[in-house]
Amino acid sequence: MIVAIGSRNPAKIKGIERAYKELFKNNIVFKAIRVKTSVPPQPLGLKLTLRGAVARALTAIRSVPEAS
């Protein structure tokens, strides 16, 4: 399984890796990439935070075609 991560933030990467390893326990390859989004680096409010997270995830998936 290849997981695309739309962030280079070490804390976010570690959290994603821990969650996937807990759930899937398979051979997992993580590919963290820097993505641009229209959301500020420190978004305020749930709506803006979710919009940024979804935008980063979609961009990461499109940037790593082999990702699951």
Model confidence band, residue 21 (pLDDT cutoffs 50, 70, 90): very high
pTM of the model: 0.81
Model confidence band, residue 2 (pLDDT cutoffs 50, 70, 90): very high
The angle subtended at Cα 33 by Cα 32 and Cα 36, nearest 5°, is 140
> Tell me: the pLDDT tens digits for 23-65?
998 889 999 999 988 888 788 999 999 998 899 999 999 999 9
Report the pLDDT averaged over residues 11-23.
Answer: 94
CA pair distance 33, 24, nearest whole angstrom:
22
CA pair distance 8, 35, nearest whole angstrom:
9
